[in-house]
Amino acid sequence: MKHMGKRPNILFFGIDSLRSDHMSLYGYERLTTPHIDKYIEDGGIVFENMFSPSIPTTPGYASMLTGLDCFGTDCVALRHKGQLLESIKTLPELLREYGYTSTCIGFKGNAGSRGFDNYINYGDWKPHKAENLNSAAIPELERLVSQDKPWLMFMRHMDPHSPYYAPKPFDRLFYANDEFDPDNKSLKPVYEFKPFRDYFLTWFPEGCTDADYIIAQYDGSVAYMDACINQILEKLRILGAEEDTIVVFTSDHGETLYDHDCYFDHHSIYDNVLVVPFAFRYKKFGYTGRVSDFCQVKDIMPTILKLCEIDCDIAFDGRDMTKAITGEGVRQESEFYITEATWMRKHGWRTPEWKLMIALEPDFHFKPPIELYNLINDPLELNNIADREPEVVKFLTARMEAHIKKREKETGRENPMYTNLDWNGFGRPFKTSEEAYNSLHIGDPEAAKKLQAKLV
């Protein structure tokens, strides 16, 4: 059946490193996202249990923009080699077939961002990230609205991604203590973590001792971004395009703050990295509220296509989640495969009750090769009970391996977690944690040396 009339536009906030549990939209005690909260509460949908199961950026966005899981994209590593498979259609590539034009802001050159008509860069690693994005996005939004074609504008906000550059007054919005208190030793282990120390020293305030100050900078950056996002939403309204536009908020992965000794980054497969926001507003959809079904970023593209009334012949791994809203119901996927190939190479299996994590090679945090957490009794994943529950480890491992074999058969390819052996840039797996710890490094050692001397 041919679609009658113009299809809806898509304003897509694909925010990097935004963990949902630090958004007031999801009940966080700090009011970090008041503008997004108000926008979504006025006619939007919030998905309360959204996961990005393949960490970090490249596989996260690849799944988000294809509707496929990591087996379908063959992408699990941050340092993915080459482009996505030619057989895959990305969201902008598919939309082009239905008359859409598309623009991507701040995500040029990544395998996960293939297929946009236009790419616009901005100062995404500099202070005032969101204002820099607005300088690029708002004129482009005006251009897109002025044309006859429906459009997709995808924006990769980087404010929650380290370094956290919360400008005044947002830097003190959630912090009123002394970040230079010499009696506070909470950042000592952070400064002692050699792989990242030089990086931290180049953006932490010189002499900072309090980890809570850095966490407050993350939250302040989210609040600052939220205020800047409201400028884009207001521009959409002023331009008269709000009623005809699907507005999407999501993220490629969460963030580690002071959790699990994985400081101020987004590696590992603990829930603080896996759990992300997903909310949208489209007034013509006619439904509002919250959805408790477990879903994954692979579900976002099929959901958007349904809202656009596009019925294509792609066999998505993801599901159309509008059915969970309208009452039709969708098949449940409450347990799923999880992966990371960033600073460590691990995979595992998550159910509503259990989290199993298995190292495919030794990691630079010297963590045990097998971790098991009871998510009901231990939601923060603080108590590894793998040794106490060997039968649970065996059971979950069997379910994970059965899923891997099933997906390998369906895709005709080996699990990419087994084939991406150059995930770390060294061309081979690490044999020991010591080797990983001494090999991996980010930051400027010379600049950090001068700063480090003042902390001794």
* Closest-CA residue to 371 (of 349, 353, 351): 349
| Distance of alpha carbon 417 from alpha carbon 359, whole angstroms | 11
Q: So what's the pLDDT on residue 370?
A: 98
Q: So what's the pLDDT on residue 266?
A: 93
Give 422-435 as a DSSP string: TTTSSSS--SSHHH
Q: So what's the pLDDT on residue 445?
A: 62
Split at pLDDT 50, 70, 90, the class of 443 is: confident
Q: Which of the pair, 456 or 420, is modelled with greater confidence? A: 420
Q: Residue 296 is encoded by which pair of tokens?
A: 């994954």
* Closest-CA residue to 252 (of 144, 44, 354, 106): 106
Residue 84 has pLDDT above 50, yes or no: yes
* Closest-CA residue to 153 (of 27, 46, 239, 68): 239
CATH number of the domain at 20, please: 3.40.720.10
Residue 3 lies inside a defined structural domain of this protein = no
Strand partners, 359: 346
Look up tokens 């860069």; give the residue: 121
* Closest-CA residue to 439 (of 448, 429, 449, 447): 429
Coil, strand, or helix at residue 13? strand
Predicted model pTM? 0.95
Please tell me what DSSP assigns to residue 298: G
CATH number of the domain at 435, please: 3.30.1120.10
Split at pLDDT 50, 70, 90, the class of 456 is: very low
| Distance of alpha carbon 105 from alpha carbon 124, whole angstroms | 10
| Distance of alpha carbon 278 from alpha carbon 270, whole angstroms | 19
| Distance of alpha carbon 223 from alpha carbon 23, whole angstroms | 9
Q: Are residues 327 and 346 in the same domain?
A: no
Q: Which of the pair, 456 or 396, is modelled with greater confidence? A: 396
CA distances to 295, 368, 403 from 407, in Å: 18, 27, 6
Instruction: Domain count for the chain, please give it.
Output: 2
Q: Are residues 174 and 270 in the same domain?
A: yes
Q: Are residues 207 and 283 in the same domain?
A: yes
With vertex at residue 250, the alpha carbon angle to CA 162 and CA 238, rounded to the nearest 5 degrees, is: 105
Residue 183 has pLDDT above 80, yes or no: yes
Q: Are residues 327 and 345 in the same domain?
A: no
Is residue 77 within 8 A of residue 58, CB to CB? The reply is yes
Residue 438 lies inside a defined structural domain of this protein = yes
**Average pLDDT value over all residues in the chain:** 95
Residue 327 lies inside a defined structural domain of this protein = yes
| Distance of alpha carbon 305 from alpha carbon 296, whole angstroms | 16
Q: So what's the pLDDT on residue 4?
A: 52
Torsion sign across C-alpha atoms 205, 207, 211, 213: negative
- Mean pLDDT within 164-193: 97
| Distance of alpha carbon 32 from alpha carbon 385, whole angstroms | 34
* Closest-CA residue to 10 (of 124, 114, 129, 141): 141
Torsion sign across C-alpha atoms 278, 166, 342, 437: negative
Is residue 143 within 8 A of residue 204, CB to CB? The reply is no
Q: Within 10 A of 180 (CB to CB), how many other CB atoms are there? A: 13
Split at pLDDT 50, 70, 90, the class of 449 is: low
Q: What is the pLDDT of residues 55-72, one digit of tens each?
A: 999 999 999 999 999 999
Q: Are residues 205 and 347 in the same domain?
A: no
Residue 226 has pLDDT above 70, yes or no: yes
| Distance of alpha carbon 355 from alpha carbon 344, whole angstroms | 17
Q: What is the pLDDT of residues 234-274, one digit of tens each?
A: 999 999 999 999 999 999 999 999 999 899 999 999 999 99
- Mean pLDDT within 383-392: 98
Q: What is the pLDDT of residues 410-430, one digit of tens each?
A: 999 999 999 999 999 998 999
Residue 452 has pLDDT above 50, yes or no: no
- Mean pLDDT within 344-356: 98
- Residue after which a domain boundary falls, among 287, 315, 334: 334
Q: Are residues 225 and 353 in the same domain?
A: no
Residue 210 lies inside a defined structural domain of this protein = yes
Q: Residue 35 is encoded by which pair of tokens?
A: 């503008």
Q: Are residues 327 and 449 in the same domain?
A: no
Q: So what's the pLDDT on residue 446?
A: 62
Coil, strand, or helix at residue 92? helix
Q: What is the pLDDT of residues 293-319, one digit of tens each?
A: 999 999 999 999 999 999 999 999 999
Residue 234 lies inside a defined structural domain of this protein = yes
| Distance of alpha carbon 91 from alpha carbon 300, whole angstroms | 10
Q: Residue 214 is encoded by which pair of tokens?
A: 């850095």
- Residue after which a domain boundary falls, among 316, 334, 352: 334
Q: What is the pLDDT of residues 47-56, one digit of tens each?
A: 999 999 999 9
Q: Which of the pair, 401 or 455, is modelled with greater confidence? A: 401
Calculate what percentage of the chain has a pLDDT beyond 90: 93
Split at pLDDT 50, 70, 90, the class of 447 is: low
Residue 211 has pLDDT above 70, yes or no: yes
Residue 2 lies inside a defined structural domain of this protein = no
Split at pLDDT 50, 70, 90, the class of 30 is: very high
Residue 24 lies inside a defined structural domain of this protein = yes
Q: Are residues 21 and 111 in the same domain?
A: yes
Q: Are residues 324 and 341 in the same domain?
A: no
Split at pLDDT 50, 70, 90, the class of 455 is: very low
Q: Which domain holds residue 311?
A: 9-334
Q: Are residues 86 and 204 in the same domain?
A: yes
Q: So what's the pLDDT on residue 106?
A: 96
CA distances to 118, 130, 133, 429 from 124, in Å: 17, 8, 7, 31
Residue 147 has pLDDT above 70, yes or no: yes
Burial class of residue 333 (count of CB atoms within 10 Å of its CB; 0-12, 13-18, 19+): middle
Residue 1 lies inside a defined structural domain of this protein = no
Q: Are residues 310 and 343 in the same domain?
A: no
- Residue after which a domain boundary falls, among 290, 311, 334: 334
Contacts of 280 (CB under 8 A, 6+ apart): 40, 44, 45, 246, 247, 248, 249, 303, 304, 307
Residue 328 has pLDDT above 60, yes or no: yes
Q: Are residues 282 and 360 in the same domain?
A: no
Q: Residue 108 is encoded by which pair of tokens?
A: 């040029």
